Amino acid sequence: MSKLVAPHGGKGLVCSLLEGAAREAELKKAAGLKKVEISARVRGDLIMMGIGGFSPLDSFMTKADWKSVCDKFTLADGTFWPVPVVLDTNDDSVKVGDEIALVFKDETYATMKVTEKYALTDDEKKWECEKIFKGVGEDSADDKFWKVALEDHPGVKMVMAQGKFNLAGPVKVLSEGGYPERYPGVYMRPADLRAKLDEKGWGTVAALQLRNPMHRSHEYLAKIAVEVCDGVVIHSLIGNLKPGDIPAEVRVPCIDKLVELYFVKDNIIQAGYPLDMRYAGPREALLHALFRQNFGMNRLIVGRDHAGVGDFYGMFEAQDIFDQIPVTGNPAKDLLTQPLKIDWTFYCKKCDGMASLRTCPHGKEDRVILSGTKLRKMLSDGSDIPDHFGREEVLDMLRKYYASLTEKVEVKMQAAASGSKM
């Protein structure tokens, strides 16, 4: 009998992925359908719907769903959902009732029955951005947000660049985008990871969300969670990131090395999921918790500036939002995976070890401030990495990656990463 948390939405894992003969028949049918080009973000959303990661979703959102998600954190039927999952297009020829093929870089990822087509004005897109991406940080101030976001917030830029129309309707997913082949043993469908967790007999399972290579703070967070849970899944994003972030094919071997040398392997699983980052801070933390529920995890480690970018969000806004979302009392409607809230962590020279603001009485001058952005900045600039920032075996791998780059993207430091807000 599984001890794991139930999938979100009360319907079990809702999977839209076709396999075998059914997939071959649908691919043949798709060859004769009108083709609609999709974005990388939509591709990731499709794969998640395919494998059950976005349960109970089996279709892109209607306008009623889109509006309710932005305004109330729920789908139109009252089921919790924190960010829009929409399919945008500029193709005016698509009509309600059409069957279409969804294509990314010449590969057909899905077919779709169009049940609704709706336009979003620029004002509606701006409203979405303010609901989803605007936080309480300095860059989100009323007199600053739109001056900064159009240049510096990748999620805002993506929404404002969307096509004129959104298409809603159920999908039949035909591809996992090559992830099983590129990341064997790491890319797992929810059913696969749940089976592995059940095999271990785990019930209380924490997810460590990663989009950066693990530094000492990530390692410390995972080890705190290991102490209070049955086990931890280091669950890293293997989809697309913004320019300047470190790709998954570099991060995955770094995590392997860290787990090999510094963790009790029986208590840790490394896995990956195929979404693109939205950089939505608190709202994205909620999405991270929601799909972790589908993967069998009932805790999400949430530390400082989770899923943030720039200075758009408060340091612990992604923790606070879990206390502000709607709760109906119906487990089929509510978010069941809860945050494991951990304070700002760092290495303290006087404590002679990892610590947090809750445990360390010393001053900023005694602390090595750890952040993924700061690490990427130092590696990109060729700067020396301070002692205790990361494990030397991992840093060596990252230095080789940066030395191989012919072009480097400037990494902007936000206040949180620099430690100036401590």
Summarised one tens digit per residue, pLDDT across range 284-319 is 999 999 999 999 999 999 999 999 999 999 999 999
pLDDT at 375: 85
Sheet of strand 367-369: strand arrangement: 353-356, 345-348, 367-369
Taking CA atoms, 362 is separated from 221, 225, 358, 386, 389, in Å, by 20, 24, 11, 18, 18
User: pTM for this structure?
Assistant: 0.94
* Residue whose entry in the numeric block shows the structure tokens 């954190």: 73
Helix (H) / strand (E) element for 70: namely helix 63-72
Q: Give the integer Cα–Cα distance in Å for 322 and 306.
A: 12
pLDDT at 417: 54
Helix (H) / strand (E) element for 354: namely strand 353-356
Q: Give the integer Cα–Cα distance in Å for 420 and 385.
A: 18
Mind telling me the catalytic residues? Answer: 211-212
Q: What is the pLDDT of residues 253-268, one digit of tens each?
A: 999 999 999 999 999 9
| CB-based contact 205:225 (threshold 8 Å) | no
Q: First vs last Cα of the chain: how many Å apart? A: 46
Which residue, 148, 169, 214, is CA-closest to 59? 169
State whether residue 112 is helix, strand or coil.
strand
Q: What is residue 44's DSSP assignment?
A: H
Which residue, 19, 53, 379, is CA-closest to 239? 53
pLDDT at 69: 98
Q: Residue ranges of the chain with pLDDT lower than 70?
A: 409-422
Q: Give the integer Cα–Cα distance in Å for 256 and 263.
A: 10
| CB-based contact 203:230 (threshold 8 Å) | yes
Domains of the chain: residue spans and CATH: 20-120+162-173 (3.10.400.10), 189-418 (3.40.50.620)
Q: Give the integer Cα–Cα distance in Å for 335 and 343.
A: 23
pLDDT at 176: 98
Taking CA atoms, 4 is separated from 296, 315, 410, in Å, by 6, 31, 42
